[in-house]
Structure 1
Amino acid sequence: MNRSAFRFLELPVVVSILPLLLPILTPSLAQTRKFTKVTVCQRNLRQLQVAYTAYAAGWRTRLLPYICDGARPDAFWMQTLQSYYAQSGQIRRCPGVPGKNPESYWGTASWGWGGSGGWMNGHYGSFGIRGWLYDIMSERPDGKYNYPSQDRYDWECTGRTFSPGVAAVWFDCNWVDAWPYHADGPYPDLSLGSQPGQPGQTSMGRLCITRHDWSINLAVADGGASGTAWYSQCWRAWFTVAHGWPFSVRDLRPALRFATLSSCRGS
């Protein structure tokens, strides 16, 4: 009897301690959920790069075509790669993004892109591909190339990639693709990202968004994926450090633009 009474008296003590423990445990649980979303996001990005590699292997190392005229919606990357990632549209989306933007085809830091008509063809997602890694020799139905002659370079096939460990291919983005240039600046509203019609909009601004606090996730050409943090001490000097770039992004931007594919001419 005495032993049972002792256990009964312990119960109020335990109950009284629980409210004290909850404020301690709740942030840890929230942080765990956030970390899980980041991990799944990076896994999805890796899957996209694996799909791209498999596609290139089946097409004699050719890059993805750049065809978005609406006449051939199956030629854009969402449809072209779909069979290489098990027909799962979730691979194109960060788990921290609930779905496509209900107000626009364009995404934001919190919403994904998506649409039902034309080349979008009902697809949705929250990642973008680096446009510099399209097959720039892709022809349109009118027989013209998708890039001016002075911008054609030699990017028709994968060949040998310069610095594959830093050459970003896929990343968190508010649109399906971006052509980040080393001299581009971010859009001031990082929760929105750069979109058409905005004054001073740039392609780099499409991926400069606060999707994972002050960072984005990206996958590089060798199949690795990681986060790229924007440090707060550099954030305060946003418009004075490296022409408006925080330190971490300043280090990344040459890789985004110039760690491109070597010439495939003659291969």
Structure 2
Amino acid sequence: MMAVASGDIAELYAAGDAILKVPRLPADNDLMRAEARALTTLQRDGDARHRAYAPRLIQSFTHEDGDGARRTAVVLERQAGFVPLTGLEHRLDPRDVAWMWRRLLTGLGWAHRAGLVHGAILPEHVLIHPGEHGVVLVDWCYSVAPGASIPALVARHRRAYPPEVLARQPASPATDIYMASGLMLRLIADPPAALRRFAAGCRYAAPRMRPQDAWRLLGELDELLEDLYGLRRFRPFALPA
């Protein structure tokens, strides 16, 4: 079986309409188990209207290789037509980022209401469907319940994390809001001043100073976008060359 992608900690293999995800190191089995728990929680406890914001867990199992090393693997529903935000930083029109930002906040609000903090809102973990304006949050390996510390970080994205993650302090919905706001702002080629101020208000160093409710923040974003661009309407989007 040939790998179709390499994640932060795992190799991903195509298996029909599914993706098999296997950690490269047995030491990361705890992160794989965290992903399986998070996706199970979202499928069981999350509002069914929003389940498309995360991949569906098909199964989780332990694989033992020829050397006796045991790895926790997960099988996920494949996200056909979706691509990561990797490589799009500073390249997009703010009107195109608007729908991504709105959907990302919707997905985060859904996860937070189910009792989860994603913990790693990074370009490769946010998939978009360009034609259908879909968004899926992937790689729930770093997710925790509010009040727990994020177990690991992606070293190359260290500057994208809020202070509480770097200090191994408790995470909260404000942790995801900090990372999501920074990511969305970085996608825009020339962010309007109003969007810069909006993102800055979501990225204070102290978590208590940031917004705590992604769905309420979505309402504030909608008001800002209407002031900037008028009533919301569908804007066709194609990935830049």
Please confirm whether the aligned pair reaches a TM-score higher than 0.5, indicating the same fold: no
| Larger relative strand fraction | 2
- Which structure has the larger Rg over C-alpha atoms? 1
Taking structure 2 as the reference length, what is the TM-score of the superposition? 0.29
Taking structure 1 as the reference length, what is the TM-score of the superposition? 0.27
